[in-house]
Amino acid sequence: MDYVNYLVIAIFLFFLFKRYLPTKGVNNISTTDLKAELNDKNKQFVDVRTPEEYKGNHIRGFKNIPLNQLAQKAEKELSREKEVIVICQSGMRSRQASKILKKLGFSKVTNVKSGMNAWS
């Protein structure tokens, strides 16, 4: 193999790892940990699944802001003063949502690992 092939493989691996690494400054909790947080009025809860997924099953207290609308709606519908706890179906979209919120300047962001798949 020549250097170009090694470079292409290295770039591919970099982006692959970057996608799955935890976002700096984002807490990750389990659904068991989430149960202890649900009554905290100083936290805001966001479900980033589609409206159809949300209607099918959701956790009381979670506001539905689909991932594809989060960047536009976060500024109007969420407070930067309170922690934002984010959930989706499996943890992938909520991880993306956490990155978006951090880029928008939200300092206290928590992702629910494994999402609704682990909720019982």
Give catalytic residue positions: 88
Burial class (CB in 10 A: 0-12, 13-18, 19+), 112: buried
Q: What is the DSSP code (8-state) at residue 69? A: H
Q: Which residue has the tokens 């149960």?
A: 35
Pick the closest to residue 85 from 98, 71, 72 (CA basis).
98
Q: Are 28 and 110 in contact (CB under 8 A)?
A: yes
CA distance to 8, 44, 76, 78, per residue, from 90 (Å): 30, 20, 26, 23
